[in-house]
Structure 1
Amino acid sequence: MTQSSDVILARMMALHPKVIDLTLDRVWRLLAALGNPQNDLPPVIHLAGTNGKGSTQAMIRAGLEAAGKTVHAYTSPHLARFHERIRLAGDLISEDHLTAVLDECYAANDGGNITYFEITTAAALLAFARTPANYTLLEVGLGGRLDATNVIETPALTVITPIDLDHQQFLGDTLQEIAGEKAGIIKRGVPCVVGPQHDEVLDVIEARAARLGAPLLAFGQQWHVTQERGRLIYQDETGLLDLPLPALPGPHQIANAGAAIAALRRLGCDEVACEAAMTDVFWPARMQHLTTGRIVDRFRPADLWLDGGHNPAAGVMLARTLADLPDRPTHLVCGMLNTKDIRGYLLPLAKVAQSLTAISIPGEANTLPASVTATAARDVGMVAAVADSLDAALEDISAKEPYARILICGSLYLAGHVLRENS
């Protein structure tokens, strides 16, 4: 009997004692055993960055598809189902196809030491190589230089979205060190689109690009983007575009949109495709307005939102987004992983939220205990409470303030739980 993808994925979790162990040696070994599928992909757009790479990739995909192109896309982590990570020529990979490539990779690995992300990335590359498409969008999992996706010798384009502090235990303690890891996706002679960056980050990117002769298309230099009178204004050396604002809410999405448009223009797309990148994009758990579903129906008339951001820069962006929404009391339900800078994340949110109710992330071994989250919230000046579950948190808030805006936030793993429960 054919095993389900869930069973195979569970087996793959046991192939390495660590969840994260950055090196490319194991990936190269497995890819060689599979016949090096990474060399047979449709033209690759490779994206790295601390924040915004998923949203930017989603906009690029919307634009390319509007231009009549078929697009593979690889993202991580998934929210509700693993299949979300692998999109083949526009559609999520089927269960049968996923099971087949996972089985093939498991057999080719032959019991070798390899992380879950490495072997599942190899499975995605195998599926991409065997399915015709015009483009392949690859999102880095962690860092860039030693990430399992960094096996494409000559991509068509690389994109680096804003870089900030996150995953310091793996990437380094300074912005320059982290930038060095993420700039590792830049390849010799391959154009690189660069979103807004700290000066010290841009210095690192420019130095690597210069060494490799990689043309840079950088925000504030080769392209500019602003929001004016409810429109997105983009300009580069080929002219000006006056476009709708991106369908993804938040002022930070303006810069992400600019990077997506710069990429699309470099790939030869016209204004129609760029407009579709703004209007047709959908990317769940990025300030997602929940308007239907079990949870929404149960807690009406509360206004429910969901966001998976989890680092200090994401906290700043989220606070700006909330400040731009119509005036309404805002309460947070927050669960985070124990590897995150919780104080840095919550500090900007303290200015825009009336309260925070802390929960532990259901089913997640590395969740921060709710009591620790609540203590951190109080430390930054927030009114904080603890609830035993998501439903209990929503009940507590909606009982006191039925028409409140409630933002569930702090982790993509919590966001995935919410989407599954709300379906």
Structure 2
Amino acid sequence: MSSTRSYADAVDHLNSLQSNAATLDAVRASGGRLSEFAIPEMLEYLGRIGYEAEDLNALNVIHVTGTKGKGSTCAFTNSILRHVKPEWRVGLYTSPHLVAVRERIRVNGSPISEEDFARFFFEVWDRLDKNEVRAHPSTPSKPAYFRFVTLVAFHAFLSLKVDATILEVGVGGAYDSTNIVPRPTVTGVSALGIDHVGVLGKTIPEIAWQKAGIYKPGVPALTVEQPEEGMKVLEQRAAELKTASFEVVHAIPALDTIRLGLSGAHQRQNAALAVRLAQKFLSLRAGEPELPADALPPQYVAALQATRWPGRCQTVRDPAHAGTTWFLDGAHTLESLECCVRWFVSPDAALRTPPDARPRRVLVFNCTAGRTGATFLRAMLEGIEQLLQEHAREGESSGTFFDQVVFCTNVTYASGNYKGDLTSKNVHGHDLVALKVQHELADAWRTLLPSFPADRLHVLPSVEHAVNIVRQEPQPVDVLVAGSLHLVGGIIEVAGLKDVAL
């Protein structure tokens, strides 16, 4: 491969396909209607790189969507298949990445190499350049970032001849770029987050309709327990799409007796869905006898205990600063933040020592401009207060819980530059320079906690600035990083946590 076809070059080319803030504003203003072009456009791109949709059936896909828990469900499912069938080659496609874009495309648990990513990337790029014939004149010559990476993933998995593919939906379901596999082996819907109703301006039935769009004729359709109005839509859509079956996955009692590899009580529901997805898949693809819904064989237990999913309720000891512990959770919805707070403020974490001997605590937080930061912060503080009362922590309150609070952008370095894989164009430049979102968050914090010391509240232009604040804290110090997976990825990069966190 020539020097002009390196991994860094692939990342640069990929970044040129990012949708900027103005484009994202247009999609939001359209009410999402622009997403309806995703499927015909993706099929056109797939044809231009030499494949037909039916070719994707060879990937043996487990397709998973939901508004929360879909990534964790995919991680659990991946671990189960690899434990039960160690001789298999198992592909996993997820988003977003934390530090390197190649994390999105994994084989047997590991991101594909930089060399492989660059090779598959430029094979797709060159095929699109050489085949400009388009059925729809309005289709751009190159797809946007996520669609392009999805094409690279399909090409990589087909080239590597994987035995099974766990495919996580990016956004929604019906119009998602991953939803062009004609016949996956099994499909699943994780929890429908109620708070998405306010954020996305959609009702629960509308969200459920979108998610159920991954259901396919003749393919088993699974879901966890959902709000009643959402469940009705999922069931109706399953019937309309003539799925092979429709199953509601209930709690598996045995999951309460093991320590899952992913922290948080909410993970038991994701693990239960993963167990049923794997059971269905192994029955259909490997001829394994279908197990009872609540069965948990030893291989499954080992797989669930061994599951790792970086940046989600993850505790990391800083390798260079023995007294610093990072609590990383890319929680970015009200419900996921509630889970995050319950995980962090627990007897095993923040409440493991008496108040007068506890570590210092720092909050590093950011969220996208389209979300209501004040609502998020209020929910976090109310959750902390409730848990402190539950655990009878006298002398502590939500107002004194954190010793320092940092609101920073997702820009990686103090120089104003991003690490190549972490480049983001989804915030208006003038808002980024003015730290608009971060100042709004700080204002909300001051309103919620007027007595919080001004010199302990920081609005900073980069992740590196935030890490510097943490480094100045007396040790021991516990650092909660939340609100954005992009922020978590930046922290892992700048704080030197890659070897222990990924």
Is TM-score (shorter-chain normalized) higher than 0.5? yes
Pick aligned residue for 1:410 from 480, 483, 496: 483
Residue 318 of structure 1 corresponds to which residue in structure 2?
Answer: 340
Letter aligned with residue 364 of structure 2: V
Pick aligned residue for 1:148 from 143, 162, 177: 177
Distance 1:176 1:375 in 2: 35
Q: Does 1:360 align with 2:409?
A: yes
Change in 2 beyond 3 A, CA 1:346/1:37: farther
Identity of counterpart residues, as a percentage? 28
Trace 1:132-281 onto structure 2 (pairs within 5 A): 132-164=161-193, 172-214=201-243, 215-219=245-249, 223-226=250-253, 232-233=255-256, 244-267=258-281, 268=283, 271-281=297-307
Distance 1:245 1:380 in 2: 36
Trace 1:24-35 onto structure 2 (pairs within 5 A): 24-35=39-50
Stretch moving more, 203-212 or 386-395: 386-395
Q: Could you tell me how far 1:36 is from its partner in structure 2?
A: 2.0
Residue 47 of structure 1 corresponds to which residue in structure 2?
Answer: 64
In terms of fraction of residues, the more strand-rich structure is: 1
The answer to whether the 8 A contact 1:332-1:357 is kept is yes
Stretch moving more, 59-68 or 161-170: 161-170
Residue 240 of structure 1 corresponds to which residue in structure 2?
Answer: none
Residue 82 of structure 1 corresponds to which residue in structure 2?
Answer: 101
Distance 2:117 2:464 in 1: 33
Distance 1:159 1:88 in 2: 21
The answer to whether the 8 A contact 1:335-1:410 is kept is yes
Change in 2 beyond 3 A, CA 1:257/1:374: same
In terms of fraction of residues, the more helix-rich structure is: 2
Paired residue secondary structure (1:216):
strand
Stretch moving more, 20-29 or 359-368: 359-368
Stretch moving more, 200-209 or 158-167: 158-167
Letter aligned with residue 444 of structure 2: A
The answer to whether the 8 A contact 1:313-1:345 is kept is no
The answer to whether the 8 A contact 2:331-2:484 is kept is yes
Distance 2:229 2:178 in 1: 25
Letter aligned with residue 114 of structure 1: P
Letter aligned with residue 346 of structure 1: L
Distance 2:186 2:474 in 1: 49
Paired residue secondary structure (1:188):
coil
Paired residue secondary structure (2:261):
coil
Normalised by the length of structure 1, the TM-score is 0.86
Change in 2 beyond 3 A, CA 1:344/1:48: farther
Paired residue secondary structure (1:358):
strand
Structure 1, unaligned runs of 5 or more: 234-242
Residue 63 of structure 1 corresponds to which residue in structure 2?
Answer: 80
Q: Could you tell me how far 1:59 is from its partner in structure 2?
A: 0.6
Structure 2, unaligned runs of 5 or more: 28-33, 130-139, 289-295, 353-357, 385-397, 412-417, 419-423
Q: Could you tell me how far 1:16 is from its partner in structure 2?
A: 7.0
Change in 2 beyond 3 A, CA 1:167/1:127: farther
Distance 1:413 1:53 in 2: 17
Distance 1:167 1:116 in 2: 23
Distance 1:397 1:173 in 2: 39
Change in 2 beyond 3 A, CA 1:397/1:127: closer
Paired residue secondary structure (2:345):
helix
Paired residue secondary structure (1:232):
helix
Q: CA RMSD in A?
A: 2.7
Q: Could you tell me how far 1:203 is from its partner in structure 2?
A: 1.6
Pick 1 or 2: higher relative contact order, CA cutoff 8 A, min separation 6.
Answer: 2
Paired residue secondary structure (1:72):
strand
The answer to whether the 8 A contact 2:312-2:330 is kept is yes
Q: Does 1:307 align with 2:325?
A: no
Distance 2:486 2:332 in 1: 10
Paired residue secondary structure (1:78):
coil
Distance 2:442 2:151 in 1: 40
Q: Could you tell me how far 1:317 is from its partner in structure 2?
A: 1.3
Paired residue secondary structure (2:312):
coil
Q: Does 1:101 align with 2:120?
A: yes
Change in 2 beyond 3 A, CA 1:163/1:105: same
Residue 377 of structure 2 corresponds to which residue in structure 1?
Answer: 346
Paired residue secondary structure (1:369):
helix
Distance 1:303 1:12 in 2: 34
Q: Could you tell me how far 1:257 is from its partner in structure 2?
A: 0.9
Residue 239 of structure 1 corresponds to which residue in structure 2?
Answer: none
Deviations 1:11-39 (A, max 9, x none): 34435754675222221111012222653
Letter aligned with residue 290 of structure 1: V
Of structures 1 and 2, the larger Rg is shown by 2
Change in 2 beyond 3 A, CA 1:37/1:374: farther
Distance 1:338 1:16 in 2: 17
Residue 439 of structure 2 corresponds to which residue in structure 1?
Answer: 371
Deviations 1:115-145 (A, max 9, x none): 1111121111011112122210111111111
The answer to whether the 8 A contact 1:38-1:125 is kept is no
Distance 1:393 1:189 in 2: 51
Paired residue secondary structure (1:224):
coil
The answer to whether the 8 A contact 1:163-1:179 is kept is yes
Residue 237 of structure 1 corresponds to which residue in structure 2?
Answer: none
Stretch moving more, 307-316 or 5-14: 5-14
Count of aligned pairs between the two proteins: 403
Distance 1:262 1:200 in 2: 23
Normalised by the length of structure 2, the TM-score is 0.73
Distance 1:181 1:307 in 2: 26
Distance 1:394 1:376 in 2: 22
The answer to whether the 8 A contact 1:26-1:113 is kept is no
Deviations 1:284-324 (A, max 9, x none): 00011111434xx1xx4243211111111211211222233
Paired residue secondary structure (1:130):
helix
Distance 2:196 2:49 in 1: 31
Deviations 1:317-350 (A, max 9, x none): 1122223343156542112221223233323311
Q: Could you tell me how far 1:392 is from its partner in structure 2?
A: 5.2
The answer to whether the 8 A contact 1:333-1:409 is kept is yes
Paired residue secondary structure (2:222):
strand
Distance 1:125 1:166 in 2: 32
The answer to whether the 8 A contact 1:38-1:129 is kept is no
Distance 1:8 1:192 in 2: 37
The answer to whether the 8 A contact 2:196-2:333 is kept is no
The answer to whether the 8 A contact 2:173-2:210 is kept is yes
Paired residue secondary structure (1:324):
coil
Q: Does 1:119 align with 2:134?
A: no
